Amino acid sequence: MSKIALITGANKGIGFETARQLAKSGGVHVLLAARDRGKGVDAALKLQGEGLDVEALTLDVTDADSIAGAAKDIGKKFGRLDILINNAGIGVDDPAKKVAEQTLATWRKTFDTNVFGLIAVTQEFLPLLEKSDAGRIVNLSSILASLTLHIDPKSPIYDFKVPAYNVSKTAVNAWTVQLAYQLRDTKIKVNAAHPGHVKTELGGAAAPMEIVDGAKTSVALALIGANGPNGAYVHMGEPLPW
């Protein structure tokens, strides 16, 4: 029986490549979620054209009705969810503004998607993950979430102060730790992934990592076994400092 995996924001970028690699790993039926139905269908058709076991699903992580509708459909069709990859994310800080100048609208928009959207999706799908033999949740964080690295003038991210984005990902890490505590004696594991600095619309064309490598941390955490970590913050199998 195939595992059922749901990936949010999977119509492009790291999410799309994660869908491809998870489906290619064999034995995983991938629900490729996109907020725009047309973009999701096009992306799913592309992977189906590669012979992969993928279907499109419409899900906007900032829309409670959309999340509830998706969970209801998956519950009816599969009765469970084995893998949830909270991949959808945005970065809308204004690069021309200093840390203290980013508007509250920017902070709210960022948190609505990256934090509250991620939590809302997780809350809605947790009952279906509890029906899995080995539920896995992967939260897309970033190295820019790391407070330890942000206070170290010698760290490579010291000068990357895009505050709304960075703090939203720090909140994702904190949420991951809180949820891992709740799940510690269950069959579900939740971890935070730093994909790398990846060439996507969000990461920019000058990013050093190719998308094919940027999906690897999410895929690995989605497929960890019973002895794998719970509540970890990881890049390519290595822990990052919180």
Name the residues that contact ligand NAP, by CB under 6 A. 8-9, 11-15, 34-36, 39, 60-62, 87-90, 113, 117, 140, 142, 194-195, 197-198, 200-203, 207
Respond yes or no: is residue 165 known to be catalytic. Answer: yes
Number of Cα atoms under 13 Å in the Cβ half of residue 192: 29
Look at the block and give the residue holding tokens 């790391």: 146
Q: Smallest distance from the beta carbon of 227 to ligand NAP, in angstroms?
A: 26
> Looking at 109, 154, 165, 189, which residue is catalytic?
165
Q: Is residue 233 annotated as part of the catalytic site, yes or no?
A: no
Comparison of 117 and 163: residue with beta carbon closer to ligand NAP: 117
Nearer to ligand NAP, 134 or 220 (CB): 220
Residue 52 or 85 with smaller CB distance to ligand NAP = 85
Residue among 196, 206, 182 at smallest CA distance from 238 = 196
3-state secondary structure the chain: CCEEEEECCCCCHHHHHHHHHHHHCCCEEEEEEECCHHHHHHHHHHHHHCCCCEEEEECCCCCHHHHHHHHHHHHHHHCCCCEEEECCCCCCCCCCCCHHHCCHHHHHHHHHHHHHHHHHHHHHHHHHHCCCCCCEEEEECCHHHCHHHHCCCCCCCCCCCCHHHHHHHHHHHHHHHHHHHHHCCCCCEEEEECCCCECCCCCCCCCCECHHHHCHHHHHHHCCCCCCCCCCEEECCEECCC
Name which of 15 and 163 has its Cβ closer to ligand NAP. Answer: 15
Q: Which is nearer to ligand NAP, 4 or 16 (CB)?
A: 16
Q: Which residues are the active-site residues?
A: 165, 169
